[in-house]
Amino acid sequence: MKSNEFPIPVISIGVGPGSQPEDEQLAYLPMPQGMETFRQPLLPEPEEMVSREQAHLALRETLAQLKLTLADGINRRVNLMGMAKSDLLLINQVLGEGEVSVLLKGNALVDSAEGESELRVQESVFAGIWRVIQTQGGKVVSDHLEVGAVPAAIRLTALQDHWSEAQREAARWRGGLPPNVQNAPSLLVEIEDQWCHWQTGQGAHMINLTLLPMSVEDIGFLDHHLGTGRVLILSRGYGNCRITNTCTPNTWRVVYYNSQDLVILNTVEICDVPEVALAAPEDLSDSLERLTDVLHWVEQAG
């Protein structure tokens, strides 16, 4: 990318006072109408679960690992590679699909040069239990369940995506500001001050772009200087939330939409991983209780 070019952001919206034409009547954005809640997974008939011992063993191990993770907060994995299709089907039915999905492009977690690496993550209906599938050149090379607040690959990739000083300098805009860019430069100074001083264990620092006088060009200038990383997270809870990491340390772009796909909140968050993507300790405790009940039914039926 040339130093005097910057992209208009994917989310091309005008935010802040003065960025939208005034209407004679006050209009409110429609609020989200639906909320994702826990739904008991649809399990197969009892006779269909007979002889799926691999699935039973994997679910028992997941439950055991969840108990350990609740005690010490350390992520743990349960390997699913090589499992029979019928057993995988039972695991898929038991776990279902939860609120959070993640796509990591070009994530170098596998020592192979055969094609592009991609990692897909899907949270199960049991918050804090994640299905993680790694592919290389379209071929599955890793398939496991991971128990924890968020899969380790998300944090690892965000760290790998940090620009060096030389890369940051190369991306810096030269010369006068582009047309309609006024407030982004001062905001970048604030963001840099925050990420330079942020430390692990601190709460998130959120900058609400929706409340600031930011033009579309301001947003594009901001995103150009922050950079765009390889982590894309979609959280479907109360409406939708799209989260992307930047190439700036501990800095994330977080955009909330309502059920009509209208932007209701556009933010920059300085933190480890945005809270909306994490499974809280109480979520893990709840998942332990629910999975225990489901596994008890599965074991009796099988």
Q: pLDDT tens digit string along 195-254?
A: 999 998 889 999 999 999 999 999 999 999 999 999 999 998 767 899 999 999 999 999
Specify if 171 maps to a domain: yes
Q: Give the list of residues 6+ apart from residue 203 with CB closer than 8 angstroms, or none.
A: 271
Q: pLDDT tens digit string along 78-114?
A: 999 999 998 999 899 999 999 999 999 875 444 445 6
Specify if 75 maps to a domain: yes
CATH code where residue 168 lies: 3.30.1370.140
- Structural domain tally of the chain? 2
pLDDT over 70 (residue 32): no
Same domain, 144 and 207: no
Same domain, 72 and 169: no
Same domain, 165 and 265: yes
Mean pLDDT computed over every residue of the chain: 84
Give helix then strand counts, H and E, for the chain. Answer: 7, 10
Specify if 108 maps to a domain: yes
Specify if 27 maps to a domain: no
Can you tell me the distance from the alpha carbon of 20 to that of 23, in angstroms, rounded to the nearest whole number? 9
pLDDT over 80 (residue 141): yes
Same domain, 89 and 196: no
Read off the tokens for 86: 């019928």
Same domain, 142 and 192: no
Same domain, 225 and 169: yes
Specify if 25 maps to a domain: no
Specify if 40 maps to a domain: no
Q: What is the reported pLDDT for 114? A: 60
Full domain range(s) for residue 123: 46-149+280-301
Q: Which residue has the higher pLDDT, 237 or 165?
A: 165
pLDDT over 90 (residue 66): yes
Residue 4 region by backbone torsions, left for phi larger than 0, else alpha for psi between -120 and 50, else beta: alpha
Same domain, 72 and 162: no
Specify if 204 maps to a domain: yes
Report, as an integer, the average pLDDT of 4-25.
44
